[in-house]
Structure 1
Amino acid sequence: MLTSWLRAAGTRTLLGHLVRRSHPLPMAPKRKAAAALSEAAVVNEDSKAAAPQHGKAKATAAAAAAKSKAAPAKRVAKAKPPPGPAWDASMRPQPLAAGTPACRILSWNVAGLRALLKKSKETDEGTRDELILTPVALAQKEQADVLCLQEIKLQQDHCADVLKDLDVPEGWHVSWNCSRDKKGYSGTAIISRQAPLSVSCGIGAEEHDGEGRVLTAEFPTFWLVNCYVPNSGAGLKRLEYRVNSWDKDFSAYLKRLEGSKPVVLTGDLNVAPAEIDIHSPKTNLKSAGFTPEERASFADNLIGQGFVDCFRTQYPEAVGYTYWGYRFNARANNKGWRLDHFLVSQQLHPSVHECYHLPAVLGSDHCPLGLVVKL
């Protein structure tokens, strides 16, 4: 028993000797930092009484600086550039001096001409609160010389009856291009104070000309092309046709016309060319009319071929829409798209006095737009 006790005592003595003689183990980084902070706290507490008052401020500033240095830098999101000012009629230039030779052109996707005329009739009868003008009444109010309509949705045998309801003044000229491939679909019309030198339907390509989408009128100093470009459709089912067939062939047609005189192109071109031309660009990248493919095609086949976007050139930063869906009170909230355009040949652009919109004109989900060209 004594032997066991001696052995245990000797072991304890030996262990105590080893502990006293051995070097301390290095601390883990976190423990080391904690110890350092603890030691600093003790020193700080000891010096509080002796330190003058401004020393406290210095210590606080030093602690804040150390904390700031230790904390990871926060990522600061880049601020979005603010949208441009909403376009309104106050931005329009002064009218041309009286007697200045000019041609005034209006363009309007009426989303069904018979439906629009019915709404106008209801206004006259007092059964509709909104003021809906007929296209011809609007042209007379705006003193327009030419009126281009898209999406008239007429068959050829409807035109005579519709012409009566339009109340076209005597001497004015009316041309139609109605869809043959599908009833109650697409279609274009041109109404002018004076008869054009010539009028033609389509672009001379059978695969494109059955839907009545292009109507061209020749005037003494320019060609006027009224167009309703095919929509890429739900699920973008016509996107491939639109950008790789229609757009290319239509561009070639315009360049052929331009070989003899400048071109004025107008109509619903079914594309919002840039982010400024749509109320919600980020959520519409896969929507017909704003896909990257359609915008690239517009840039390549129209702007890249020397045609000038008259509205965007005149108002580079203004937000001006021409189309608003019927749902979600989009028009009242100005959540729209700029799908309707006037483009002109580069050599004609110096003669353009103004391009403007008429968003207060109701009757369609599109508003009319106008162009004034000095002659």
Structure 2
Amino acid sequence: MTNTDTFNHSSETVKILTYNLNGIRSALSKGLVEWLSQNSFDILCFQEVKATHDVVDLLPFEELGYQYHWHAAEKKGYSGVATFSKLPPDQVVLGCGMSIYDCEGRILRTDFGDLTLLNCYFPSGTTGEIRQTVKMQFLDDFFDYVQELRQTRPNVIVVGDYNIAHTAIDIHDPVRNKTSSGFLPEERAWLTKWFDSGFIDSYRYKNPDKIEYSWWSYRAGARANNKGWRIDYISVSEPYKDHIVAAGHLPDAVHSDHGPVWLEVAR
């Protein structure tokens, strides 16, 4: 694989899935592997795996042709991201070099040729003011980290649970949630800055007016009534925009309180 050939394999396109599992062992018990065996993806980016790799039976993934890279949190049963790929990455980097976030297992980088893929789990601010402050600091630090990375790696895809709904179309009740973490004005403004800085919201790029969500509360039948939030994204840097073929959600996959989001890119 060379730096001029992003994906050196036979298919004309590559399918990337991002999925907050809210515990990989829980998702496996709900049929995740069976679902994956019927839905072909080249790269799987999981967030909130809540486990270290050694306590999970990963043989079923290997039998489907995936190799994996894992960045667990130091705290047991918390956070963590993992990337499974049928394509061998050229480089794998655990974390972003900032210990405050790396100890929570929030960012996993894999390079495929001239493409850099960041699998990310942004902090949630729903537990109170302290974590909301951490979230806002993460947003600023992450923005700077990615802008610096783009100086040498211009083709970047950033997938994961951003824990922010961007606009009113991305949340079932924007009025009553205007003071809720995940839809605060300063969080939404950050996402606007993010997309203005040279990233494409791939789902919205291909589906400008469609209303779909990627997370539903477990309370009050929210999922059954589709009262959700779109907080999981696949951002594609501007230089790579022309590679976007299709993007969407798979809300019928029920292994978590989140649903999977996917992107198909041309090689």
TM-score normalised according to structure 2 size: 0.91
SS of the residue corresponding to residue 326 of structure 1 reads coil
Q: Which runs of 5+ in 1 are unaligned?
A: 1-98, 121-132
Q: Find out whether 1:346 has 2:238 as its counterpart.
A: yes
Q: Find out whether 1:103 has 2:14 as its counterpart.
A: yes
List 4+ stretches of structure 1 deviating above 3 A: 137-140, 163-167
Residue equivalent to 1:82: none
Change beyond 3 A, Cα 1:140–1:119: closer
Correspondent of 1:115 among 26, 44, 63: 26
How far residue 305 of structure 1 moved from its aligned partner, in angstroms, is 1.5
Residue equivalent to 1:184: 77
Distance 2:255 2:207 in 1: 26
How far residue 249 of structure 1 moved from its aligned partner, in angstroms, is 1.3
- Alignment map for 1:257-272 (pairs within 5 Å): 257-261=149-153, 262-272=155-165
Letter matched to residue 14 of structure 2: C
Q: Which runs of 5+ in 2 are unaligned?
A: 1-9
Contact conserved, 1:199 with 1:215, CA < 8 A, in 2? Answer: yes
Correspondent of 1:147 among 31, 37, 44: 44
Letter matched to residue 368 of structure 1: P
**Aligned-pair Cα RMSD in Å:** 1.6
Correspondent of 1:233 among 98, 112, 126: 126
Between stretches 199-208 and 253-262, larger displacement belongs to 253-262
Higher helix share: 1
Distance 2:67 2:61 in 1: 12
Residue equivalent to 2:54: 160
How far residue 350 of structure 1 moved from its aligned partner, in angstroms, is 1.3
Contact conserved, 2:202 with 2:235, CA < 8 A, in 1? Answer: yes
1:25-70 alpha-carbon deviations (Å, 9 max, x no partner): xxxxxxxxxxxxxxxxxxxxxxxxxxxxxxxxxxxxxxxxxxxxxx
Distance 1:149 1:167 in 2: 13
How far residue 234 of structure 1 moved from its aligned partner, in angstroms, is 2.5
Contact conserved, 2:234 with 2:263, CA < 8 A, in 1? Answer: yes
Distance 1:221 1:103 in 2: 14
Letter matched to residue 183 of structure 1: K
How far residue 228 of structure 1 moved from its aligned partner, in angstroms, is 0.4
Distance 1:165 1:328 in 2: 36
SS of the residue corresponding to residue 257 of structure 1 reads helix
Contact conserved, 1:172 with 1:195, CA < 8 A, in 2? Answer: no
- What's the % identity of the aligned pairs? 37
SS of the residue corresponding to residue 215 of structure 2 reads coil
Letter matched to residue 70 of structure 2: W
Q: Find out whether 1:317 has 2:209 as its counterpart.
A: yes
1:52-101 alpha-carbon deviations (Å, 9 max, x no partner): xxxxxxxxxxxxxxxxxxxxxxxxxxxxxxxxxxxxxxxxxxxxxxx762
SS of the residue corresponding to residue 179 of structure 1 reads coil
Residue equivalent to 2:257: 365
Correspondent of 1:206 among 99, 109, 113: 99
Residue equivalent to 1:169: 63
Equivalent residues, number: 257
Letter matched to residue 143 of structure 2: S
TM-score normalised according to structure 1 size: 0.66
Correspondent of 1:196 among 89, 101, 106: 89
Q: Find out whether 1:219 has 2:112 as its counterpart.
A: yes
Letter matched to residue 220 of structure 1: G
Contact conserved, 2:37 with 2:64, CA < 8 A, in 1? Answer: no
How far residue 170 of structure 1 moved from its aligned partner, in angstroms, is 7.0
SS of the residue corresponding to residue 166 of structure 2 reads coil
Contact conserved, 1:225 with 1:265, CA < 8 A, in 2? Answer: yes
Contact conserved, 1:171 with 1:193, CA < 8 A, in 2? Answer: yes
Residue equivalent to 2:227: 335
How far residue 103 of structure 1 moved from its aligned partner, in angstroms, is 1.2
Distance 1:167 1:102 in 2: 21
Q: Which has the larger radius of gyration?
A: 1
Residue equivalent to 2:5: none
SS of the residue corresponding to residue 30 of structure 2 reads helix
How far residue 233 of structure 1 moved from its aligned partner, in angstroms, is 2.3
Distance 1:234 1:218 in 2: 34
Correspondent of 1:295 among 169, 174, 188: 188
Change beyond 3 A, Cα 1:235–1:286: farther
The one of the two structures with greater contact order (alpha-carbon pairs below 8 A, sep at least 6) is 2
Distance 2:103 2:145 in 1: 16
Letter matched to residue 68 of structure 2: V
- Alignment map for 1:1-20 (pairs within 5 Å): none
